[in-house]
Amino acid sequence: MNEKQPGLRDRTRRAVQKEITDAANTLFVERGYEATTIDDIAAAVGMSQRSVFRYFATKEEIVVGKFDFVAEQMLDVLRGRPVDEPVWDSLRRVFDLLVPYVDAPGHHEVAEPMQRIVFDTPALFASYLQKLQLMQDGVVTALTERAETAGAPYASDDPAPRVITAAAFGCLVAAQYAWLAAGAKGSFAAAIDRAMSTVGPRD
Amino acid sequence: MNEKQPGLRDRTRRAVQKEITDAANTLFVERGYEATTIDDIAAAVGMSQRSVFRYFATKEEIVVGKFDFVAEQMLDVLRGRPVDEPVWDSLRRVFDLLVPYVDAPGHHEVAEPMQRIVFDTPALFASYLQKLQLMQDGVVTALTERAETAGAPYASDDPAPRVITAAAFGCLVAAQYAWLAAGAKGSFAAAIDRAMSTVGPRD
DNA sequence: GCCCAATCTGTCAGTAGCTGTCAATTTGGG
DNA sequence: CCCAAATTGACAGCTACTGACAGATTGGGC
């Protein structure tokens, strides 16, 4: 087995990371992202600036780092879907993973303002788009493998899997725009449904 | 008339900007983007670091700044298309604008390496994605206006124009991936055609 | 429970991107 | 020809980020 128990060391590491993100997010919402300094965050958590950088490579990563984890989960979900399910439907299921991050019931005090901060701060928005691109890379790989498993592999130069994935993620971002513009009311899942019914693969 | 002659001042400004980008691109291709310092660029053009920042707000802007200009051109092209043309076809025509930037015939010595640098340097790629998003904002506005002109306006909460635009731009990026992966041979326009025939709007 | 190697930590020094200020110089255009 | 406006370099300063090192902490096998 290549499985490994998290071990105490890893667990405390995650705990400290969460402490930092929580403190940072509070500050970001209070004072704004750019107005908050790494030293501010370090002081709030009670550690040195250098140590904060031992948990997060960049300031942006404090905000968007969680999406690395989401990207992994996406692969699990996608691989768990039936191989004969239409690709567009599988992708729709994959996006269910993001719903709790966006539509977070309960912590509307922090989650929603943070979302606006991401969309309004150029540096953060760029990082977010980049993470989405990373997710797409994983999805494209999984989709390619799945097609092979199903006995209908894509040609090596066929752009189809990437195009379909890109279109689906485009729907995702558009849905998020619409949802935020409408005041973050209503269900985010419904916004995705609506977006993904507007375009789709051709055959 | 709200038209204004460029005036000598503006023209020299553009000229200096071009001088900087040319010198910078050469250095970027030679030594890499991150290994090249603003001071290096300033020295190469024979001005102070401070002055370089008077022409470009950020280092990334030296590379991706030209896309602001492209975004404006896109609006012109889109507004010049017949109002009854299918949206997907109009967007395909808009993308013709990007072909010369990517498929640049002649200066393959710089244009193609720079493209790889953009895709391989995280900071640059993120900026590029952001510029694409900016272009989309403009396109969505133009599309909305056009629908009004045609007497078939979108509902204010209808995500359709943004979704379709996002899907089209997704095709664009996927096409660029495929084209670069195939060694930048063949026509980029054909890659876009292929990508945009894989997905599309539903009605 | 003991102990050591592995990990974590703070401190310090340094680099690069980027900004404000100001005085000196250049220059477009009337 | 001349002046108001724009451009410039020099300097100081801030913040994100990195490398190095010495000392403290601690997980986990014995």
Tell me: the pLDDT tens digits for A181-199? 988 888 999 999 999 999 9
- Kindly give the residue spans of alpha helices, DSSP state H, lying in B121-159: 122-149
Could you say which residues 38-77 of protein chain A have a Cβ atom less than 7 A away from any atom in strand C? 46-51, 54-55
Asked if the Cβ of residue A197 lies within 7 A of any atom of strand C, the reply is no
pLDDT for residue A6 is more than 80: no
pLDDT for residue A108 is more than 50: yes
Tokens 């326009």: give the residue.
B189
Nucleotide with the nearest C1' to A49 CA: C10
Please answer whether residues A74 and A95 qualify as being in contact, where contact means their C-beta atoms are separated by less than 8 angstroms: no
Residue predicted with more confidence, A123 or A111: A123
Tens-digit pLDDT profile for residues A18-34? 999 999 999 999 999 99
Could you say which residues 10-69 of protein chain B have a Cβ atom less than 7 A away from any atom in strand D? 13, 16, 46-48, 50-51, 54-55
Nucleotide with the nearest C1' to A50 CA: C10
Q: Is A152 helix (H, G, I), strand (E, B) or coil?
A: coil
- pTM score, whole prediction: 0.93
Number of alpha carbons in the 13 Å side-chain half-sphere of residue A62: 25
Contact A167 B167 (CB under 8 A): yes
Beta-bridge mates of residue B199: A201
Mean pLDDT of the region A100-124: 86
Contact B166 A157 (CB under 8 A): no
Per-residue pLDDT of chain B (203 residues; tens, 9 = 90+): 434 456 778 889 999 999 999 999 999 999 999 999 999 999 999 999 999 999 999 999 999 999 999 999 999 999 999 999 999 999 999 999 999 888 777 667 788 899 999 999 999 999 999 999 999 999 999 999 999 999 999 999 999 999 999 999 999 999 999 999 988 888 999 999 999 999 999 97
- pLDDT score, position B103: 79
Residue predicted with more confidence, B147 or A5: B147
Share of chain A above pLDDT 70, in %: 96
- The whole-angstrom separation of Cα A201 and Cα A194 is 15
Strand D bases within 7 angstroms of protein beta carbons: 6-12, 15-20, 26-28
- pLDDT score, position A11: 87
**Which is it for strands A199-201 and B199-201: parallel, antiparallel or unpaired?**
antiparallel
Q: What confidence category does residue A106 fall into, taking pLDDT thresholds of 50, 70 and 90?
A: low
Could you say which residues 14-53 of protein chain B have a Cβ atom less than 7 A away from any atom in strand C? 36-39, 49-50, 53
